[in-house]
Amino acid sequence: MTENKPGKVTMEKLVSLCQRRGFIFPSSDIYGGLSACWDYGPVGVELKRNIKEAWWRANVQERDDMVGLDTSILMNPKVWEASGHVTQFSDPLVECKSCHQRWRADDLTENKCPACGGELTDPQQFNLMFKTFMGPVEEAANTVYLRPETAQGIFVNFQNALNTSRKRLPFGVAQIGKAFRNEITTGNFIFRSREFEQMEIEFFVKPGSDDKWFDYWVEERLNWYVKLGIRKDNIQLREHGEDELAHYSRKCFDIEYNFPMGWAELEGVANRGDFDLKQHMEYSGKGITCLDEETKEHIVPYVIEPSAGVDRSVLAVLCDAYDEEIVNDELRVLFHFHTDLAPIKVAILPLSRKENLSAVAKEVYADLRPCFVTQYDDTQAIGRRYRRQDELGTPYCVTVDFQSLEDKMATIRERDTMNQIRVPIAALRDTLSAKLGGEDLFVLPEGGQIWKEEKKEV
Ligand code: GAP
């Protein structure tokens, strides 16, 4: 037995694996990185796209009561005055009088510097919005902000979205996009960064029906994570206390995930009432209303906001899917990604680089590539290639061996069980499509064979 022992996921293991396998790198790595900014690598970008696509499909394309938007990051600065972000989107900042490190006062349990024990300054409110200048003159009048939430792009487009989509209450508007916050304390990998992505829904409802819709969205959003493979016992709800509520919020529940550093917010579902639309009416002087079909009166709707972080979803999916086990005395590390989320769906692994075998394997590759994200790998011993695909979370590997030249069959190996079946090459595309859609591995196509059932490798 090796000394390797299967263990739990830790942030250190995850950061190292993500960097080694091309999921996530520190931003501007060759210059020593940039604090709390991250780059998604070749596999990470696929995982992230799959999460966003799953969210968009479930919340926009498969619903009658939702439309999408993609609004700009830079907005008229009056937006942020109206929304309250200029005056209220701040955290209490304290500075150590000895080492000059800065801390969020509400993160500290004691009134001394956690780094050196030094005395702290009195707290000052620090606004989290990044500022820049619009145009060539750097003066206060040209100040614009990088948006700290995507939500405001939806509120200021409420009338545009309503008029052009001809939706009626209740209906929602969804958006995925970048947001920026000059966080005082960052960390825990991609959990809290200064540039991140949000997936936000503003769901507009008739006042009075808001409690019902709030409950609906909490349930809906919890189920979405579970459907994508997150274990139920790793998710919980936590209601915000009065003192925690954002300035716009009447009620808020966090959907929390059990990250390696403990339970922390994955998504917030808030009842924002009519705060935002009313503020924008006042500051813009424009009417922002819609028709109440029952009373035939124009009303300002209430809004329920499920607001999820893309990067936190990526982190939760990585943590939840990470696994270690001992196979043939060796540690096997793998990601059990849901097939919809797996960055690579199928890997084609010819047993040798011999020309006649490569020719068949490349034909298989060319046939499958238009249907699934497929990777071709003929670099090392087959066992090591399987391990590499396990660490990438690839659900199926297709092995082409010398027997394939005779019987025109190939082997499909399943990531989670390491079970294998042998199927006609002509049936590979349909078979993989069915397996990726959730069909059991041992439902065989015509001419298929059960190859191996034990937890052993070829
Ligand atoms: N529009 C409401 C809003 O922005 P929030 O709770 O401040 O609410 C929503 O943010 C989600 O955005 C969070 O649940 C989290 O997933 C993500 N998020 C917020 N700040 C983040 C940060 N600094 N880094 C990564 N994700 C963040």
What pLDDT is attached to residue 451?
73
What pLDDT is attached to residue 61?
98
Beta strand 195-205 with 171-180 is antiparallel
Structure tokens at 136: 């060539």
> 7 alpha carbon to ligand 1 midpoint, in Å?
30
The alpha carbon dihedral of 288, 293, 297, 303 has a sign of negative
265 pocket-lining for ligand 1 (C-beta < 6 Å): yes
What pLDDT is attached to residue 36?
92
> 309 alpha carbon to ligand 1 midpoint, in Å?
6
% of residues, the chain, pLDDT over 70:
98
pTM for the complete prediction? 0.95
Res. 455 pLDDT band, cuts 50 70 90: low
256 pocket-lining for ligand 1 (C-beta < 6 Å): no
With a cut of 60, say whether residue 53 has pLDDT above it: yes
CB 200 within 8 A of CB 149: yes
196 pocket-lining for ligand 1 (C-beta < 6 Å): yes
- As a whole number of angstroms, the distance between CA 398 and CA 414 comes to 9
With a cut of 50, say whether residue 323 has pLDDT above it: yes
> 159 alpha carbon to ligand 1 midpoint, in Å?
25
Instruction: Find all residues with CB under 8 Å of 29, minimum gap 6, and list them.
Output: 39
With a cut of 80, say whether residue 326 has pLDDT above it: yes
Best probe residue, ligand 1, of 27, 201, 312 (max atoms within 8 Å of C-beta) = 312
User: pLDDT for 124-155, tens place per residue?
Assistant: 999 999 999 999 888 888 999 999 999 999 99
With a cut of 70, say whether residue 216 has pLDDT above it: yes
Protein residue whose Cα sits closest to atom 19 of ligand 1: 309
What pLDDT is attached to residue 141?
85
What does the pLDDT average to over 19-33? Answer: 96
Cβ neighbours around 97 below 10 Å, total: 11
**Nearest alpha-carbon partner for 204 in 268, 154, 261:** 154
Res. 265 pLDDT band, cuts 50 70 90: very high
What pLDDT is attached to residue 5?
79
With a cut of 50, say whether residue 108 has pLDDT above it: yes
Q: How far is CA 84 from CA 88, 157, 333, in A?
A: 6, 18, 47
Regarding predicted confidence, which is higher, 1 or 280? 280
391 pocket-lining for ligand 1 (C-beta < 6 Å): no
With a cut of 80, say whether residue 1 has pLDDT above it: no
> 198 alpha carbon to ligand 1 midpoint, in Å?
7
% of residues, the chain, pLDDT over 90:
90
- As a whole number of angstroms, the distance between CA 261 and CA 316 comes to 12
